[in-house]
Amino acid sequence: MNKDKDSKNKEKKDKDNKEKNNKDKDKKDKNNKDMGNKDKNNKDKRDKKNKDKDMGNHGGNQKEVSSYMVLADIYSADKSTQCTLVTNPVSTMQAPSSAGSSSGESVLSLAPQSMTSRNLTGSTVASGNLLINLENETGVYFIFQDLSVRSEGAYALEFSFSLLPIPVGPPSSVLATVFSEPFTIYAAKRFPGMTESTVLSKCFASQGIKIPIRKEPRISRSKRPAEEQAGITVEGEVASESDDDDDGPG
């Protein structure tokens, strides 16, 4: 009888110890989980802080870099001559002249007159954007996604950096300038075809920048119907003004 009683007491004691051990284990697991979540939260905060610091080192936040401006202009390929305007001969009417005519008469002249127009068209001013490049580095970039050139020839683009002027302050001055590599504008019949959009363009487009992307090279216009061959087209990343069916630069 005493033996059975001792056996039951032992079983109960073992059961109590087992339940206690399970409770201790559950409590320890909960503490470890809470500690893990806390470490994860701390890591997320550190990562965010480092990212914010990294963005700060590259020009501050988006609101700040939006006050950075770059103006694009066009030069000859050797960068010596500004090619902002092109001259197009047109026929215009002269104002009525009284010289050599009687009262009530006017003279109409159809002599060619010189009229200038912009050679570089599209959005020639861009503000800064905080973007991540192909090396996963954050930096300030200026996007010119719709530039066009009217006249064929060899050119280079000049980019001038300045700050957005304060309404009550003095005009902003140019703080730095840089030239692009030379590029060629072709007449439609000699145009070799559009290239595929660059990897960097695709990278920026994936971050919300509105850059139309070409997924494959475009064939030469010389192989297309004649009605599609009107206008001037630019090689590389700058689009032709009259390239209406193009899906844009990349």
CA distances from 19 to 7, 16, 33, 221, 246 (A): 18, 5, 21, 82, 74
| H or E, element range at 138 | strand 138-142
Q: Does residue 75 contact residue 81 with C-beta atoms inside 8 Å? A: yes
Q: What is the DSSP letter of 226?
A: G
pTM for this prediction: 0.55
Compare 41 and 210 and report the one with higher pLDDT: 210
What pLDDT sits at residue 48? 56
The model's pLDDT over 129-138, given as tens digits with 9 standing for 90+, comes to: 999 999 999 9
What pLDDT sits at residue 246? 44
What pLDDT sits at residue 160? 96
pLDDT confidence band for 2 (50 / 70 / 90)? low
Least confident of 19-23, 155-159, 164-168, 226-230: 226-230
Q: What is the mean pLDDT of residues 120-139?
A: 94
The model's pLDDT over 60-111, given as tens digits with 9 standing for 90+, comes to: 577 788 889 999 999 999 999 999 998 875 544 444 544 444 444 444 444 4
